[in-house]
Structure 1
Amino acid sequence: MMEEKRFRKIFEYILDEINEGVHVIDENGKSIIYNRKMAEIESMSRDVVLNKNIHEVFQFLENEESTLLSALQEGQVTKNVKQTYFNDKGKEITIATNSFPITDGDGEIIGAMEIANDITKMEQILRGNILKGDTRFTFDEIIGESQAFQEVIENAKRASRTSSSVLIIGETGTGKELFAQSIHNESSRAAEPFIAQNCAALPDTLIEGILFGTKRGAFTGAIERPGLFELANKGTLLLDEINSLSPHLQAKLLRVLQEKKVRRVGDTKDIDVDVRIIATINEDPIDAINENRMRKDLYYRLSVVALYIPPLRERKSDIPQLVQKFIHKYNRLFQMSVESMSEEVRRCFFDYEWLGNVRELEHVVEGAMNMMTDEPHITFSHLPYQFRRKSQWKEEQLAPLPSVMPTQFDVAVDNGKMDLKSKMDEFEQYYVEKVLEKHKGNVSKAARELGISRQSLQYRIRKHGMRETEE
């Protein structure tokens, strides 16, 4: 008896340590073994499942039966079959299951066993990507009158006429997906799928199967499934934050781009695909290449058309128009009638750095309108507390640059050049040197304070023959 108890303890320990869900029912359909992993997959406790019939605990889709019960009642063996059902709280569960009957020495079925792997997350991601394929943004909805921004819009419209790859470069919140959707909707592929995938949101082990598809049996729980390249065939696939992909996946992506063929994980057969790739990156691609976050050959292949979306701090003249757009949007959603922002708020918005870009501006406007009742204008007191605090902190904490007085910058330096352009160049060099000195040579911080891109500052450093300090 003691030996049997000891053996059972070892058996239960082993079952709870393996990484697959195990569920066993007896000849009456009642659960007699239910390991820890299965409980995690189905978000159920053992007490709720054990000694109960499957239909008392789980709900199955119409015209679909439990593979575990099919194994018990019909002796049916299933391998790597996808099954979707619901637990007692209505939560959807999707598993890749292997189910088979358990027989005694005479061949009589005395129970059934299921070994399962959780693919709920992958299924929801794929479904979500397909649903998000409904594009709604067009170029008409892109707001910005500044010259640099208008140039980006014009270049994006030109790129819509072809099927070349596009790399959209811009900080978080600048509107990269808005441009991607607009390019798709303006192109000849507008009637075909548009599918977006954030490459930073998932681990490599998951995203590889999502992008390229899987062959049944390629790994534990793998089922026959098309990837996003196949689902986006004839259309557009947006790969957001492409620099987050591992070098291995970047190499595989490069192969697909070059050969226009995709091979599912675990397969030996290539599938032809016709997909336009639009990729986004939220940092300087040269930095990403130098720091091994992006393959150089992939960068050249993706950047057939390269669009740089300037951050909001480089196009502050667009702020009033953007604010009016957001006021109109939230007037409609909140059933309000706000007219505009006050002059005080306008000055505050123009002084702020907007590190979160247009997305941050929208969130601030939305937060302010939540604090309003029937006032016609957004005032400083309506702005979210954290925004007001950051604005005040900036004024108090950042020491001002030394003022540039005639005693510090001699407007009549004796170099024989008195034209305006020469003086502007001299002043630019002086001012850039002072800002770099203030930030101890940190190019990124200096560029942020100057309100220009890092590339633009590096250009000026080279232009004036200054030495760039390592950061």
Structure 2
Amino acid sequence: MNNEMKLFSTDLESLKSILSSTLDESIFFNELGSYLKLALQSDNYLIYMAGTDLATARAIYTDKSANTDLEVATIAGHVIRSKRAYFSNDFARDPLFSGRANKLTRAELCAPIMYEGLVIATVHLQNRGEKQFTRNDVTSVLEILSGISDPIKNMQMYLSAKALNEILLKKLEMQENAIAGKLEVVVESNYQIKEGKIISLSEVMKNAIKLSDKLAAAGVNALISGPTGSGREMLARRIHCRSSRASRAFIVVDCSVLAEGALEVELFGRLENSIAGTAGQRGLFEVANNGTIVLRNIHAIPINLQNKLNRYLQDGTIVRAESFAQYSSNARILAISDKNLLDMVAAGTFSKALYNELATMIVNVPSLVERKVDIESLASYFLNENKSIDQMKSLSPDAVRLLAEYNWPGNLRELKSVMQRAYILSDGRIIEADHLADSVVILPEEDENKEVTDRANDASSVFVEMTLGDLERRHICQTLEYLAGNKTKAAKALGITVKTLYNKLHTYGLIASQEIQ
């Protein structure tokens, strides 16, 4: 790209005059975007407005041909948080741009529009083909933005006043609803959620996701089964967020943590009883009306409450706790369990009628061991979750191998915990095997010793004349070879400390002296 700025009929002073004369956001940002596009001879521009949390962004002003996919929002969020311009000419090699949906856009420059350290928006200039951006282009954009600081200040003050006014109007509306007895919208807003990210390359998980998306459109009640920590609730969130109920409440209740009476009040609510001295309470089915209620550990719900749930699923009627008072609800139920409910039905501990109502559709979520192809991607995601580019770390091949070999009884929840721990323990940019939890690095003792002993027995089946020292050296070397050079595992299997193992290897001349320091 030609780094020299072109002269236009509308020069910087004219732009400043136009921007100073308007508080119309559309005019302001489109004029600014058009000017920068022409100044740098780029193909497209778009403007992202900063969210109220100053960490997210949404596209609002753009060329018709500009790329506004979700990855652009990721770049905008990064620039808003760092308050620094960023550009890339190779999306394939840039982690911030990897997975970009629009393959025509090859290069992008993003700069913050801010005043006195407060970012109000980001401007994105995009190029197709072979045209590239340079640091001089970044300097040019920042100089232009610096030259119009007064209009930016005016717009920042206007947007702040507008946001404050919207907050005050919302508070006023909430108070009016409360006075009118219309609390549903107020309460419901506290339970609104956003869809979480689900990473999967495995076919078994992709099938579960596809079925979940069909469920979202169908609107029926469903049962989500699978082991604890496998991501069942994430699929429930996806179903809710992709359904017509997305703007309504999403409530999760664990049926295994409350006693029967407390759970009944929590789910179905109760009326005030001045004689008994009990306060009235809205039930979560009442709060979740037209939304979604997730019943975690549905297998733990007492049989009496199972009958109440079954009646609700049949006619939409809820009977309050401690009374015969009724109300109607249209909450969708997504039940979650790690038990075989059919076995419980056969044993008489779970209602067959309730099972039939819930099992209209069943989504089976695989364990992490069943989707080993996803382990490396998931581990990298958990490792660098909520980290900036300069804070990100990578997994060594040895660490990846150990993660793939482990059986993950705690599934995704355990993997996330292991990665968070490894990030803290690692001083550098690479996660090594010794940064992983002992449960991942060390095999179960009985299995490990058995495997090493079996190998030793095989090796000793043919007599070879040697000294006791030679035999020890041979056994140590065979153990290391069998355990792929992992000295921690080898020391564990040999019944010695890692330091002792290093000393012996040094004696054998197999490692340098500095390695044992």
Give the CA RMSD over aligned residues. 2.6
Once the two structures are superposed, residues 75-128 of structure 1 have per-residue CA deviations (whole angstroms, 9 ceiling, x without a partner) of xxxxxxxxxxxxxxxxxxxxxxxxxxxxxxxxxxxxxxxxxxxxxxxxxxxxxx
Shift of 1:290: 3.1
Structure 1 residues 219, 288: CA separation in 2 closer, same or farther (over 3 Å shift)? farther
Structure 1 residues 399, 284: CA separation in 2 closer, same or farther (over 3 Å shift)? farther
Number of the residue aligned with 1:303: 359
Number of the residue aligned with 2:306: 250
SS in 2 for 1:277: strand
Cα distance in 2 between the residues matched to 1:269 and 1:283:
33
Q: TM-score, normalised by structure 2?
A: 0.49
SS in 1 for 2:237: helix
SS in 1 for 2:252: strand
Matched, 1:396 2:396: no
Contiguous gaps of at least 5 residues in structure 1 = 1-128, 404-471
**Which one is further off, 321-330 or 187-196?**
321-330
Cα distance in 1 between the residues matched to 2:284 and 2:446:
44
SS in 2 for 1:192: coil
Cα distance in 2 between the residues matched to 1:380 and 1:254:
51
- Superposed, which structure 2 residues align to 1:9-20 within 5 Å? none
Number of the residue aligned with 1:359: 413
**Which one is further off, 151-160 or 376-385?**
376-385
What amino acid is aligned across from residue 406 of structure 2 in structure 1?
Y
Number of the residue aligned with 2:212: 156
Could you tell me which of 417, 423, 435 is aligned with 1:369?
Answer: 423
Cα distance in 2 between the residues matched to 1:354 and 1:219:
53
Contact 2:406 2:440 in 1 (8 A): no
Could you tell me which of 251, 259, 267 is aligned with 1:211?
Answer: 267
Once the two structures are superposed, residues 196-247 of structure 1 have per-residue CA deviations (whole angstroms, 9 ceiling, x without a partner) of 1111111111110000101222984422221000000011111111001011
Cα distance in 1 between the residues matched to 2:431 and 2:190:
33
Shift of 1:300: 1.1
Cα distance in 1 between the residues matched to 2:421 and 2:386:
10
- Superposed, which structure 2 residues align to 1:234-249 within 5 Å? 234-249=290-305
Cα distance in 1 between the residues matched to 2:194 and 2:399:
31
Q: How many matched pairs? A: 269
Contiguous gaps of at least 5 residues in structure 2 = 1-186, 456-517
Shift of 1:381: 0.8
Number of the residue aligned with 2:231: 175
- Superposed, which structure 2 residues align to 1:36-435 within 5 Å? 133-138=191-196, 141-217=197-273, 220-329=276-385, 331-332=387-388, 337-373=391-427, 375-389=428-442, 391=443, 393=445, 395-396=447-448
SS in 2 for 1:201: coil
SS in 2 for 1:250: helix
Cα distance in 2 between the residues matched to 1:218 and 1:186:
43
Cα distance in 2 between the residues matched to 1:399 and 1:291:
41
Shift of 1:350: 1.2
Cα distance in 2 between the residues matched to 1:360 and 1:131:
31
SS in 2 for 1:331: coil
Cα distance in 1 between the residues matched to 2:203 and 2:386:
28
Identity fraction in percent: 29
Number of the residue aligned with 1:422: none
Cα distance in 2 between the residues matched to 1:221 and 1:396:
62
Shift of 1:358: 1.0
What amino acid is aligned across from residue 346 of structure 1 in structure 2?
V
Contact 2:395 2:431 in 1 (8 A): yes
SS in 2 for 1:287: helix
Contact 1:213 1:226 in 2 (8 A): yes
Cα distance in 2 between the residues matched to 1:370 and 1:355:
23
Structure 1 residues 361, 293: CA separation in 2 closer, same or farther (over 3 Å shift)? farther
What amino acid is aligned across from residue 434 of structure 2 in structure 1?
S
Shift of 1:289: 2.5
Shift of 1:131: 8.0
Contact 2:369 2:408 in 1 (8 A): yes
Cα distance in 1 between the residues matched to 2:275 and 2:410:
41
Contact 1:229 1:273 in 2 (8 A): yes
Structure 1 residues 157, 178: CA separation in 2 closer, same or farther (over 3 Å shift)? same
Structure 1 residues 196, 317: CA separation in 2 closer, same or farther (over 3 Å shift)? same
Shift of 1:184: 0.5
Structure 1 residues 213, 219: CA separation in 2 closer, same or farther (over 3 Å shift)? farther
Shift of 1:136: 2.3
Cα distance in 2 between the residues matched to 1:198 and 1:287:
21
What amino acid is aligned across from residue 342 of structure 1 in structure 2?
S
Structure 1 residues 367, 315: CA separation in 2 closer, same or farther (over 3 Å shift)? same
Cα distance in 2 between the residues matched to 1:199 and 1:169:
15
Cα distance in 1 between the residues matched to 2:274 and 2:264:
12
SS in 2 for 1:266: coil
What amino acid is aligned across from residue 201 of structure 2 in structure 1?
E
Stretches of 4+ aligned residues off by more than 6 angstroms? 129-132
Number of the residue aligned with 2:487: none
Cα distance in 2 between the residues matched to 1:131 and 1:352:
41
Cα distance in 2 between the residues matched to 1:150 and 1:297:
30
Contact 2:230 2:366 in 1 (8 A): yes
Shift of 1:395: 4.2
Shift of 1:330: 5.3
Structure 1 residues 218, 211: CA separation in 2 closer, same or farther (over 3 Å shift)? farther
SS in 1 for 2:335: strand
Structure 1 residues 303, 259: CA separation in 2 closer, same or farther (over 3 Å shift)? same
Q: TM-score, normalised by structure 1?
A: 0.53
What amino acid is aligned across from residue 282 of structure 2 in structure 1?
P
Contact 1:190 1:235 in 2 (8 A): yes
- Superposed, which structure 2 residues align to 1:432-471 within 5 Å? none
Structure 1 residues 219, 198: CA separation in 2 closer, same or farther (over 3 Å shift)? farther
What amino acid is aligned across from residue 396 of structure 1 in structure 2?
E
Structure 1 residues 198, 131: CA separation in 2 closer, same or farther (over 3 Å shift)? farther
What amino acid is aligned across from residue 320 of structure 1 in structure 2?
E
Shift of 1:304: 1.0
Cα distance in 2 between the residues matched to 1:167 and 1:397:
42
Structure 1 residues 355, 183: CA separation in 2 closer, same or farther (over 3 Å shift)? same
What amino acid is aligned across from residue 281 of structure 2 in structure 1?
R
Number of the residue aligned with 1:426: none
Contact 1:344 1:380 in 2 (8 A): yes
